[in-house]
Amino acid sequence: MRGWRGSIVRSTIPFTTSPRNNGALKRAFTAGISTSTRPDPFILLADHLAQVRGALFDLLGSSSPTLDEIAKYYFLQPSKQLRPLIILLLAQATNGLGKNWEKRRLEGVQDLDLPLSRADVLNDFNPSIPTKTASFSEKWDIHSTTAANPTSQKEWNGILPTQTRLAQIVEMIHAASLLHDDVIDESPLRRGAVSAPQAYGSKLAVLGGNFILGRASAALARLGDPEVVELIASIISNLVEGEILQMKEAPAPANAWRVYLQKTYMKTASLMAKGARGAVVLGGCTEGEIYREVAYAYGRNLGIAFQLVDDILDYEAGEATLGKPGGADLQLGLATGPALFAWEEHPEIGPLIERKFNQPGDVELARDYVRKSSGVERTRDLALAYAEQARDVLVPLPDSDAKGALEALTGRVVKRKS
């Protein structure tokens, strides 16, 4: 498939189709996933994911014990590591295909912990990397400028060190956004434990998030690719814009779906789409090569499917399975997929959505309307349609275990229960 010259067309996902219309689609998609012998994505890269997580702690060391603790807090509880997984699998599935692969492979043999600025000028002491960072000293003299000797880092599982580091960076940005999100949502729980704002207070949770972003930005610069810096930086802007969009007044009925899907892209899918594209760029695929588009389209569709399922689970699952409070969206005034579909069947829910469920009894009433409607089922069908689209855009990739695992992941995302 190396010479594939197709193009990824815009999705035509029908988000108002009825469950009846989607029955055949659902059956075909689930059958396509289950009849295969595709590798389990989490098992295929289990050792790599463990390494990504373990080595991440070293990036977050601080000489302030409090900051050190908060920055690492959300990495201590088990997480799905879906974002790093997408990045690593797309790296594996596309490495060797791009025009600049050999060049990137050679560039990949560099020390990614080594500061670009001299360590004593950077003054960002990290006790976990003491030989490569320096702390602030008050009296300052002219220092010599001998270049440090880079230690080599090697390819592993066919994945470049830069791509593994990108997986860590993306997970760091995700964790930073969760620290801020739990302040905004006043959430008591995250990943089955007391949330960071509950444990340390809002101020420290916000500062911890900012510290993680600082370290992620430095690590990003050390990847040496301005295009990847641009892509990943824009994820942070998207996350903030998505959060602001969610805070605004409820949109007019005609705009409700567009705004919801836009918010879903910004808060969830952008990180997966741009992280995946970044991995392929680091693997030497140049502008115009289809693999970049495959990665972006896969991450975007999978991300939207993932969030739609998340929005269903908020109605269906409780604290024990989610590791965070269920039913939070209505409490926060948010009308997600199930409520928007319910609105089509029960117009009475409209005024509740418009006032963001802020009157006593609104939340319970809205939940009843959603239960009486086929909102949850139709949201699941929509998630299936996005997941199927994610699987379909993989066609240009040559067959490999990584491609099979990416396909399997589309099924896992829609079937998940937590």
Residues that bind ligand FPP (CB under 6 A): 173, 176-178, 180-181, 184-185, 187, 209, 213, 236, 239-240, 243, 267-268, 324, 328
Closer CB to Mg ion, 181 or 407, in the complex: 181
Shortest Cβ 59–ligand FPP spacing (Å)? 16
Closer CB to Mg ion, 181 or 311, in the complex: 181
Q: Please give the Cα distance from 226 to 109 (Å, whole number).
A: 18
Strand partners, 159: 156
Shortest Cβ 112–ligand FPP spacing (Å)? 21
Rounded alpha-carbon distances, angstroms, from residue 121 to 128, 133, 317: 18, 9, 50
Shortest Cβ 216–ligand FPP spacing (Å)? 9
Q: Residue 193 phi/psi, 5° resolution?
A: -135, 170
Shortest Cβ 145–ligand FPP spacing (Å)? 35
Shortest Cβ 183–Mg ion spacing (Å)? 10
Closer CB to ligand FPP, 38 or 324, in the complex: 324
- 362 binds Mg ion per the rule CB under 5 A: no
Measured in whole angstroms, the distance separating CA 205 from the mean position of its chain's CA atoms is 20
Helices 19-34 and 401-415, axial angle in degrees (round to 10): 140
Shortest Cβ 148–ligand FPP spacing (Å)? 31
Q: Please give the Cα distance from 230 to 287 (Å, whole number).
A: 15
Considering CB distances under 5 to 8 angstroms, the limit depending on partner class, which of Mg ion, ligand FPP, none binds residue 86? Answer: none
Closer CB to ligand FPP, 181 or 407, in the complex: 181
Q: Please give the Cα distance from 239 to 282 (Å, whole number).
A: 23
Query: Which of the residues 165 through 194 are near Mg ion (CB under 5 A)?
Result: 181, 185
Strands (E), 319-404: none
Closer CB to ligand FPP, 318 or 398, in the complex: 318
- 329 binds Mg ion per the rule CB under 5 A: no
Query: Which of the residues 184 through 243 are near Mg ion (CB under 5 A)?
Result: 185
Closer CB to ligand FPP, 114 or 236, in the complex: 236
The four Cα atoms 179, 185, 190, 194 give a dihedral, to 10 degrees, of: 90
Q: Which residues of 305-343 are buried (b: 16+ CB within 10 A; e: fewer)?
A: bbbbbbbbbbbebeeeebbbbbbebbebbbbbbbbbbbb
Chain positions contacting Mg ion, by CB under 5 A: 181, 185
